[in-house]
Amino acid sequence: MNGTTGNLKHYEERIVRDARICGGEPVFKGTRVTLRTVLASLASGDSVEDILSDFPSLKTEDVQAAIAFAAASAEEDLPVPAVPHIR
């Protein structure tokens, strides 16, 4: 795997929230393309090339930022299961 959690934080430079843009949903800086749209495209199996073709205002780094955001969110939001007590 290439990178560490600290390197994943680059998404903060590419993903912004502004109450005046798309109702405050996270979007890619300088666009009205929402983070949710890109993550849904990735989840449905679209390739990075497909996404860039569908949204020409995005760059490869934007899609990577979406993945980094999802990874960081999963790391922070997923509960740690309790370890069963073995007797």
| Tokens 């990178």 -> residue | 3
Q: Please report which confidence band the pLDDT of residue 61 belongs to, taking 50, 70 and 90 as the band edges.
A: very high
Q: By the 8 A CB rule, do 22 and 16 touch? A: no
Q: How far apart are CA 35 and CA 26, in angstroms?
A: 6
Domains of the chain: 8-74 (1.10.10.10)
Q: By the 8 A CB rule, do 73 and 66 touch? A: no
Question: Mean pLDDT, to the nearest integer, of 76-84?
Answer: 71
Q: How far apart are CA 47 and CA 63, in angstroms?
A: 10
Handedness of CA 20, 22, 28, 31 (dihedral sign): negative
Residue 54 is predicted with a pLDDT of 97
What's 27's DSSP letter?
A: E
Residue length of the chain: 87
Residue 71 is predicted with a pLDDT of 87
Rounded to two decimals, what is the model's pTM? 0.77
Q: How far apart are CA 46 and CA 26, in angstroms?
A: 20
More confident residue, 60 or 10: 60
The region of weakest confidence among 1-5, 10-14, 22-26, 63-67 is 1-5
